[in-house]
Amino acid sequence: MGRFLYPDAYMASAYSIDYGKLYEMGYRGLIFDIDNTLVPHGAPADKKAVRLFAGLKEMGFRCVLISNNKEPRVKSFSEKAGVLYIYKAAKPKPDAYRRAMGMMHTDTGSTVFIGDQIFTDILGANLAGIRSVLVKPINPKEEIQIVLKRYPEKLVLFFYRMRCKKKREVL
């Protein structure tokens, strides 16, 4: 099970990923978590997120947001960002990731997932068979159930860093 918890890459932010490199590598679909990946928990889509998605579309990417949140939260964010969405995704179950690929007309070899939580986001992406990028949470203020998951995440990240000490992947 440990390998399913490791991301393919670990980045400081969703905004620091080299999306041009991903495009050159043949990736065409990007699936994003919202809260603490793109904006602080519960925040609306800001100018930075809107610019990110405009730039990604201009590059040729298709994007879908998947969230365990209810539709009003996810829909309002996606409308402002101008991307498709799936709400109540039941992450880490891989079904929503597969649905997102269907919406983008991509497959496991051409899709990347970006999120901030190991036990929901990364596990789900890995179970769906797609490349996963873990990003640092934007804001430390989170709901209690997420705060409690951050402690075992630190242990997973410790072993991930040990495994990657010799080989760092940069996007």
> Residues 32-65: pLDDT tens digits?
999 999 999 899 999 999 999 999 999 999 999 9
Residue 147's pLDDT is 55
Residue 24: how many CB atoms within 10 A of its CB?
Answer: 9
List, in order, residues 6 or more apart from 126 with CB less than 8 Å away.
3, 4, 5, 6, 132
36 neighbors 114 (Cβ within 8 angstroms): no
Question: Cα 17 to chain center, whole Å?
Answer: 11
How far apart are the C-alpha atoms of 78 and 81, rounded to whole Å?
5
52 neighbors 23 (Cβ within 8 angstroms): no
114 neighbors 65 (Cβ within 8 angstroms): no
Residue 143's pLDDT is 60
| Single pTM value for the model | 0.84
Domains for the chain: give ranges and CATH numbers.
2-164 (3.40.50.1000)
